[in-house]
Amino acid sequence: MERMLMKPKVAFFDFACCEGCQLQVANLGEALLDILGAIDVVEFREVMSEKWDKNYDVAIVEGSITDEHAEQRIRKIRDRSAVLIAYGSCATIGGVNGMKNSFVLDEIRQSVYGKDYQLFDSKKTRPIHQVVKVDYFINGCPVYHPEVIEVLKCALRGVPYAVPDNPVCSECKLNENVCMYDRGVACLGPWTKAGCNSWCINNGNICYGCRGMVTNPARNGANDIMARYDLNFDLIRNKFDMYNKCSEEDKNG
Amino acid sequence: MANKTVKIDVEYLTRVEGHGNIVIDVKEGKIDKCEFQVVESPRLFEGMLRGRSIFEAQHITSRICGICSCGHSLASIQAAEDALGVTPTEQTIKLRKLLLDYEFLDSHVLHVYLLAAPDVLGVPSFVPLVKTHNAVVRRALRMKKLCNDVCDILVGRHVHPISAIVGGFTKLPRPKDLDAMLEMLESMRDDMAETLALAKTLQFPDFYRETEYVGLVSDDEEYPLLMGDVGSTDGKRLGKKDYRQATNEFIDPRSSAKFAKWSRDSYLVGALARFNLNSDKLHPTAKAIAEELGLKPICHNPYLNTVAQVVEIVHCYEHAIDLIKDLKKNGINYDEEIVVGVNEQQKIPVRAGDGVGAVEVPRGILFHNYVTDSNGIIEQANCIIPTNQNIANIEYDMMKLLPEILDQTKEEITLKMEMLVRAYDPCISCSAHYLNVKFVE
């Protein structure tokens, strides 16, 4: 009962990523102060020097797991956290870091670092849920502000958040965008989870699939699209690999 | 303090982007170790780019860093266009310059207020400042959000911009967008004045080490951020294609992180380097501010990189306003709006090429280099980020500083060292090629 009255202790952690999703927090502007009024941020390395040695009510984890040290660290964070939120594409689906998994690990390490490549550790890229249990997922590269607020509200109240499982097209249609396929360009909207308000297509770009694939895509519809626009499967798969390469392990598991 | 023994191990330096450690080991007055280690998990971007279309490169490489993602996009686009032989239109160049101004404003405001100011105000982060300096924190967040919002209007969002691609923009600002951006920037004037007032109160450690400063240089009148040659305060100058002769990346047996050097053992890139190279080309208002703040070229105090950032905030602010006014006056040609650059419609001819992009980003000069086959598929990629170039210089600064402050407490030494590293505004998450540093104990 006492704990309910206290502000929840919240910490941010980053693993392999660009830290852009953490930056999205700073980009909330003065609204951030409202959030800071409701929670007690005890660790946030990117903007704070303070460190915390007790348990966390909520751990918000950015980035994917790409080496042994990171694996040990995320296990410790999980042990100390009541609720763990995977935050952003790298954490939820492996993100662009997953492209590494398309290569033979030693070969790609050598291509970047030359003969000294073994001086540092590097493992196959994994999203957080492939290493430890995740309670909430905030998808996107970067995360979408309205969804961040929504998930935080759910996490702080202890109620589940259902990640939208309908395609980006459902939002794109409402935004009255001209379909990218009608402009002669392949877009991953038909297969990608909604929730970003078709952010990229609204700005004239395609959907790159950064929120992960819907669990039950409309197969016949997708086949129709492939046939109508004379697309080959490799082109689409190649586009998917930019963000979703790690999902192959989910299917195996 | 001839016999002093100090051991400092700052694991995960805070208020910087990415993971870095400071290790100092002084035994009986003798410095055994004084190092800045980078421990970021390698992400292998240069390797991952192989096999991808050159039109996808900017999307992927903007993910190297969330904080300078617009700068990475622009360097990437420049490299791709160089490889493909595409010359951007004058309108596209203006809009890219505007995007870069926004990037500098956003990033420098974040660094000056949230990352560096707490040191000078003697608190561990901006969080306690919410209580003690509430107006300052609110101003910082307000300015940060505004810089972010104008960027959203221009390219969809600041973190990983959407509409800036190879060949131009997928969405061009409408007249109402230009009006909105101008109005928003003008509304920041009071906050700009307050920022300068705050900057005048900031006290930085008195420290001096002569070094070489490297950045873009040009023959025209504009403060070069988007285009130019690679130049140094030691009088050297090279075309961007010859960037490898300037950066000379090497591995030092003492550490497995890659270092860069040109004329000397190390060099510095970033706001201070740009100021030292090009202060005469700053916007007149920014020039006046530099004088007010007492910043003069060539300044050899690395802590004053933060002051140079304040000067650049003013420059980019005024430059952005001038650019928007110019775009409003001349109108935007919407025929230049292009379909997304994966180029499935083959609108831009592809060819085998080797292209280099050299762009100033908030933390210094950034190089992207792609080699493509005749189908526009990347065969080799090389990205040299500013922080990478600064690492050696940071360490030389630390080694000069340490004996000068050895009589102070361990806490004071730690803080001064942390402040020194933070003054460089290192962005370690861009660690396209850092190695984990290992020691033989």
pLDDT of residue B232: 97
The verdict on whether residue B68 carries a ligand-binding annotation is yes
Give me chain A's average pLDDT, please.
89
- The number of distinct structural domains making up chain A is 2
Q: Are B36 and B394 in contact (CB under 8 A)?
A: yes
B165 touches chain A (CB under 8 A): yes
Can you tell me which residue has the tokens 């990037």?
Answer: B103
What part of A 191-210 touches B (C-beta under 8 Å)?
199-200, 202-206, 208
Whether residue A225 is found in the same domain as residue A105: no
Peptide bond into B362 cis (omega under 30): no
Whether residue A143 is found in the same domain as residue A189: no
For residue A178, give every residue at least 6 positions away whose Cβ sits within 8 Å of its Cβ, in sequence order, or none: none
The verdict on whether residue B433 carries a ligand-binding annotation is yes
Domain that residue A20 falls in: 2-157
Instruction: Please judge whether B60 and A49 are an interchain contact, meaning their C-beta atoms are less than 8 angstroms apart.
Output: no
Q: And the tokens for B237?
A: 């100058």
Last residue of a domain, one of A157, A190, A213: A157
Whether residue A190 is found in the same domain as residue A97: no
Whether residue A11 is found in the same domain as residue A104: yes
Whether residue A143 is found in the same domain as residue A179: no
Q: Are B102 and B114 in contact (CB under 8 A)?
A: no
Whether residue A61 is found in the same domain as residue A123: yes
Fold topology of B45-391: Cytochrome-c3 Hydrogenase; chain B (1.10.645)
Instruction: Please judge whether A204 and B145 are an interchain contact, meaning their C-beta atoms are less than 8 angstroms apart.
Output: no
Question: How far does B60 lie from chain A, in Å, by closest CA?
Answer: 7
Find the mean pLDDT for residues A57-74.
Answer: 94
Render pLDDT for B271-303 as a digit per residue (tens, 0 to 9).
Answer: 999 999 999 999 999 999 999 999 999 999 999
A49 touches chain B (CB under 8 A): yes
Residue A162 lies in a domain: no
pLDDT of residue B12: 61
Instruction: Please judge whether A18 and B345 are an interchain contact, meaning their C-beta atoms are less than 8 angstroms apart.
Output: no
Output the domain CATH number for residue A147: 3.40.50.700
Q: How far apart are CA B65 and CA A46, in angstroms?
A: 13
Q: How far apart are CA A168 and CA B206, in angstroms?
A: 55
Strand partners, A60: A12, A85
Residues of B in contact with A141 (CB under 8 A): 63, 160
Question: How far does A41 lie from chain B, in Å, by closest CA?
Answer: 9
pLDDT of residue A2: 41
Provide, rounded to the nearest whole percent, the portion of chain A with pLDDT above 70: 94
Closest residue in B to A14 (Cα) is B18
Q: How far apart are CA B266 and CA B276, in angstroms?
A: 16
Render pLDDT for A125-149 as a digit per residue (tens, 0 to 9).
Answer: 999 999 999 999 999 999 999 999 9
B12 touches chain A (CB under 8 A): yes
pLDDT of residue A58: 94
Whether residue A35 is found in the same domain as residue A67: yes
Question: How far does B47 lie from chain A, in Å, by closest CA?
Answer: 5
The verdict on whether residue B427 carries a ligand-binding annotation is yes
Q: Domain boundaries in chain B?
A: 6-41+396-440, 45-391
Whether residue A65 is found in the same domain as residue A147: yes
Instruction: Please judge whether B48 and A96 are an interchain contact, meaning their C-beta atoms are less than 8 angstroms apart.
Output: yes
B331 touches chain A (CB under 8 A): no
Strand partners, B1: none
Collect the ranges in chain B with pLDDT lower than 70. 1-3, 8-19, 38-41, 251-258, 428-441
Backbone torsion region of residue B150, taken as left when φ is above 0, otherwise alpha when ψ lies between -120 and 50, otherwise beta: alpha
Residues of B in contact with A47 (CB under 8 A): 14-15, 114-115, 125-126
What part of A 117-156 touches B (C-beta under 8 Å)?
119-122, 141-142
Whether residue A77 is found in the same domain as residue A140: yes
B85 touches chain A (CB under 8 A): no
B144 touches chain A (CB under 8 A): yes
Render pLDDT for A68-125 as a digit per residue (tens, 0 to 9).
Answer: 989 999 999 999 999 999 999 999 999 999 999 999 988 888 887 777 777 777 889 9
Q: How far apart are CA B169 and CA B346, in angstroms?
A: 16
Whether residue A81 is found in the same domain as residue A39: yes
ipTM of predicted assembly, 2 dp? 0.93
Render pLDDT for A19-31 as a digit per residue (tens, 0 to 9).
Answer: 899 888 878 878 8
Q: How far apart are CA B390 and CA B38, in angstroms?
A: 12
Instruction: Please judge whether A30 and B141 are an interchain contact, meaning their C-beta atoms are less than 8 angstroms apart.
Output: yes
Whether residue A95 is found in the same domain as residue A202: no
Q: Are B14 and B127 in contact (CB under 8 A)?
A: no
B366 touches chain A (CB under 8 A): no
pLDDT of residue B63: 94
Question: Could you tell me where the DSSP H helices lie in B215-365?
Answer: 243-247, 271-278, 284-292, 305-330
Residue A163 lies in a domain: no
Instruction: Please judge whether A208 and B127 are an interchain contact, meaning their C-beta atoms are less than 8 angstroms apart.
Output: no
Whether residue A224 is found in the same domain as residue A101: no
Instruction: Please judge whether A206 and B115 are an interchain contact, meaning their C-beta atoms are less than 8 angstroms apart.
Output: no
